[in-house]
Structure 1
């Protein structure tokens, strides 16, 4: 019998049982869309995370943080500046303060920074791009306020540019500052330092008023070339064996491990639908064999070979999978194209400020091909046992079946 005849007979059988056929096709469509969106979401966040951290931390940047039982001082910063290939070393200066604003008292992290350090912390090329309101001033007596300091948990703004705030140190010393600007919400922090809960002042002012001992919370080291990062990293580990040395490579390795686990988890949850599809096809084929036993007997009696019946059943499952895969991948492509991509997925306000859904979804052509083929392979495997069982039914028994 010709291949076209197999497909004609298979289509006729599926049309007779179109209720089950449509149910199986809808199941395949849902499975493809669910798994595609789950994997695409993981890959999208991985891609954006890599790009964001490369932009924020730079390929030629190394971070040094004190270990559990060690301290870093400004003297250590000068030692780092003498390491070959190091072009600059910026100390991370921070302390905890109580802030009084408009009758509200909040706890915040006071940080002494340079404009360059603050730009890097927010992943921008200009400090203006990190501001929600106000001016990008880092001068004595002027402070830039983080988003969570300026806004309460209910969204009420309590701090505005030009207002006066009072900072109280753990020792009880009070210092008055004028708010120069309110910063946007940031989704990135550095080892326990959340910029949303911080107040930023000029680095030299911080050293004079809050850190006369010269202790630092960490050091940002700039290397002349990305090719020399590993060499400088090894030198830092030798000089500071008790401290933590991080560069972009080690950071991205940790991020990659996280997103790999996330993708596996999302894929497992969404992949359950494919298991259900396999069970559905297996069950449908077993019921079909019972209902069509007499039909198979007549086919054997008129000259169909023993292999014709399993081939026919497998072709039926392939047709279901082809239709479901075609519609499912087309629908997935339309959904991915329709969902707008956020410009900064690590900024919570990027989602809150948009009335539409913004999700970073990346589905590659290889992913589409795999999602198209997977249901076909599952359907063939699921229909294989029922098809072989149908082949083993004796012709005499099929003709006597009622």
Structure 2
């Protein structure tokens, strides 16, 4: 019996017991689909994070107050003057972004109101927040320096308050505790909460961006603990970082309270964490493949027992030991390959469903699919060897006597 005949015989056996074959393949289907879905989500998450870093660039140094320092005082926090000083002293700086935030209520002249998260920030922050302006404009340096009462809001908030997104020039009142301020809307940007899988509604606060100089006046907490500095290039990032730390220490008259961390190192850390998480979850999902393989072995042993007389007849009419072994091994591999195919299709479909709900593109790598099929074949061979060997070793006389 050649390979083709073994394949045909094994396929007929699988067809003859459709329900049992499907239940046997179920563990393989679940395992393969789980692995493909988890690995695809992990790859999608890494691409999403990388895209966010590409939007803001990787030439970034984050200046922070050391979290391990216990004796941080009010005067140690960064100020708006620090931003100007660093730009004057360090020519390699192209932009500095920081922000302060608070929550409040935005109310129109028609008494429509909505809770908002107000962010006071610098003009260079647009790319850091991945903001896409759809009407009007974003903050500029004039708004910051002149301490203008202007703001940009998200489109969901604009529609809730004004019924439209074309609202440039409209005015609204921002209330924070006992402080009120009238602001002019200069821009409307695309709401980003959907990209994070949220369902923005009335219960979700809107997003409002305003000059940090205004926020410094009306927010309750205005301490700045982080400055994100963009450099022309990162060749001398270590030296420039040390220089910026010294400038800040000299201005604030302190020592050892500031640290500088290069932005692309954070990307590496995030990618490593995502890779480890994906690997861990994939390994857990892979356990179901082992369970599925045991199920295949179990059903093949049952099949050997049920077909003992058939094996005896085949051997009696000239079938060799390797022919019997090939037949049952082929049946095991076919079960796993069919299960792997169904699992792959289901895994890809599940990834697309998850992608739709979390609004993140989830790619399906050909490499992952090939690995899935390879693993399916390996499971079929590994867990089919023992039943096939047992069938091949049956004595033809004893097999013919079996009832």
RMSD (Å) for aligned C-alpha atoms: 4.0
- Cα distance between partner residues in 2 of 1:368 and 1:250: 31
Tell me how many residue pairs correspond in the alignment: 367
Cα distance, 1:285 vs structure 2 = 0.2
Unpaired segments ≥5 residues, structure 2: 197-204, 250-255
Report the 3-state secondary structure (helix = DSSP H, G, I; strand = E; otherwise coil) of the residue aligned with 1:361: coil
Match of 1:202 among 181, 198, 211: 211
Cα distance, 1:111 vs structure 2 = 0.2
2:240 is matched with which residue? 232
Deviations 1:226-246 (A, max 9, x none): 333344345556776433534
- Cα distance between partner residues in 1 of 2:379 and 2:91: 56
CA 1:306 to 1:231, structure 2 compared with 1: closer, same or farther past 3 Å?
Answer: farther
Deviations 1:347-392 (A, max 9, x none): xxxx68xxxx955121222112111111111111111222233344
Q: Does 1:267 find its partner at 2:264? A: no
Give the structure-1-normalised TM-score: 0.74
- 1:240-319 alignment, distance < 5 Å: 241-264=256-279, 266-268=281-283, 270-319=285-334
Q: Does 1:378 find its partner at 2:389? A: no
Report the 3-state secondary structure (helix = DSSP H, G, I; strand = E; otherwise coil) of the residue aligned with 1:123: coil
Give the structure-2-normalised TM-score: 0.74
Q: Does 1:52 find its partner at 2:52? A: yes
- 1:296-375 alignment, distance < 5 Å: 296-326=311-341, 329=344, 335=349, 339=352, 359-375=360-376
Conserved in 2, the CA contact under 8 Å of 1:282 and 1:386? yes
Q: Does 1:223 find its partner at 2:224? A: no
Deviations 1:309-361 (A, max 9, x none): 3332112112333444456556767x59x95998xxxxxxxx68xxxx95512
Conserved in 2, the CA contact under 8 Å of 1:145 and 1:182? yes
Conserved in 2, the CA contact under 8 Å of 1:80 and 1:89? no
Match of 1:130 among 133, 139, 143: 133
Cα distance, 1:16 vs structure 2 = 3.7
Cα distance, 1:252 vs structure 2 = 0.9
1:65 is matched with which residue? 64
Cα distance, 1:94 vs structure 2 = 1.9
Unpaired segments ≥5 residues, structure 1: 190-195, 343-350
CA 1:230 to 1:310, structure 2 compared with 1: closer, same or farther past 3 Å?
Answer: farther
CA 1:168 to 1:25, structure 2 compared with 1: closer, same or farther past 3 Å?
Answer: closer
CA 1:4 to 1:178, structure 2 compared with 1: closer, same or farther past 3 Å?
Answer: closer
- 1:143-158 alignment, distance < 5 Å: 143-146=151-154, 150=157, 157-158=160-161
CA 1:229 to 1:12, structure 2 compared with 1: closer, same or farther past 3 Å?
Answer: same
- 1:184-195 alignment, distance < 5 Å: 184-186=190-192
- Cα distance between partner residues in 2 of 1:298 and 1:17: 21
CA 1:38 to 1:205, structure 2 compared with 1: closer, same or farther past 3 Å?
Answer: closer
